[in-house]
Structure 1
Amino acid sequence: MAYYYEERSRNNIAKLATETRKRAREWFDWCCENKIEVLVYETIRTLEQQKLNVANGKSQTLKSYHIVGQAFDFVMSKNATVDWGGYKTATAKKAIAKAKSLGFTWGGDWSGFVDCPHMQFENKGYGTDKFSADIPKPAPAAPQKTGKQGVFAKTNLNIRTKSKWDSPVAFIIKEAYYAQIIWDVRENGWVQIEFQGKKGWFSAAVDVYWHTKNPNVLYTAVKDVLTRADPKWGGKPSFRMKKGETVNVIGKTGAWLKCSKSGVIGYLPDDKKHLIKK
């Protein structure tokens, strides 16, 4: 699945110097593969920004590795929530250890001025990692595929106007909606996506972002019901259903069914008192 801050993090990582960017991407890919959610919230920093940080006590040097593209700042996250106190958790320790194994120095190990969000790649010294054109890593197995492939979005996906993360959003495909990958039109590890007559670009990493089998199961309302925005009673209401109305169920969260109606998500208990499989 795509995590809440994945796109923002990848856009920030893309701004780093060449070798730092390569290793930061490897680290971030590893975090995603191991279901560790992080937000990379800052990479490049101007000298003026750094002067301000020194002035307000957020930093102690004007020779910051952020200025030369050899550092990033991160925070642990869970969906849209960030945890500024989460650097001592078991999950964070695994992520930090992985970054160190890739050659990064962690600011949480420093004595005196401890900087837990900070990771820097010193390379051969300050300013030794140069910038070069960004060439995204091609997605595995994409070159062997041709024609069109029907898929279903694992989460809401921002389809882009061009084959890169920082290009404008052409349109959004809602979770569990059907689209087609056009494998004959691809570049830089991206493929063209066709959805309801519109075309745009998205990463060719199918297993990360798409279901290859239809996740939608049709259910019928046993009575008039009000779904919830979260899988719990007493939470914010989502959409209403009348008795006999059908709805797509796109998965389960614990003992709750995850329902989708016109792209809006709502939850109901899987107790056969509210919904039954059609």
Structure 2
Amino acid sequence: MAGKDIRGVIVPILTPLNSDESVDTSSMRRLVNYLLDNGAHGIWVSGTTGEFANLTNKQRLISVETVVDEVAGRVPIIGNISCPSTQLSLELALAVQEMALDGIAVTPPYYYNNAQDELLDHYRYIGDRSGLPLWVYNIPPTVKTIVEPNTIATLAAEGAVVGVKDSSGSGEPFAQLNVLCEQGNLNLLRFLGTVSRITTSTALGADGVIPAIANLAASASARGWEAGEAGDMETVKECNAKLIAASKIAQLAKGGGPNAAAFS
């Protein structure tokens, strides 16, 4: 991971588009600098908030290239390479191999349900062949399959994965994973994907958060996480109020991309 400390608020960056659906690289560069100027500790590119499922591979690769170029090594970058199948995900992983990412993330294959032994094979296959630090992107509300704590722990013990983003929406699997990591002395980066956990993630055993709302409230997200880690409850309260207000704005938008709609 290029020796970088991966902690704190990693922002799942939006993907600005032009009227012809091409990636608006100028706006994306401005957004990168807005996020970093306001304290973001890292960037997660081509994720759910970036609406990857609506983009072509060409659009996704342009967005990754743009972010990597504009960040220029200032913070860690994780690229989501999730596709409906293992082979398609690997194809995208190989396409970003030389882009100086600090890691890649992948969900389980989606559309069909998958057994846990199939998920073990999925992550091992991509990790072995991509040669890149691999993250489990655990988001069962959209892919139908949860990567269970024991499965993640097995992969971590093998060195097949280095991190996990938990967007399961339930605290129980994350708590179970924490116990397994402690019992097995596993070296696994553990991140939560929900806005409600920004200021409490450290207490929950997380290394940080990857919240969509940070696109709208980057400073409050970064300051809130840092204050939570430091036990500065006054700043936590202040930042939580700003995050709640930003979330209410995002909730006014209808459809699949509320944060993008709110940001525009």
Give the shorter-chain TM-score range: under 0.3
TM-score using structure 2 length: 0.22
Bigger strand share: 1
- Larger Rg, first or second structure (1 or 2): 1
Structure with the higher helix share, 1 or 2? 2
* TM-score for both structures, normalised by structure 1: 0.21
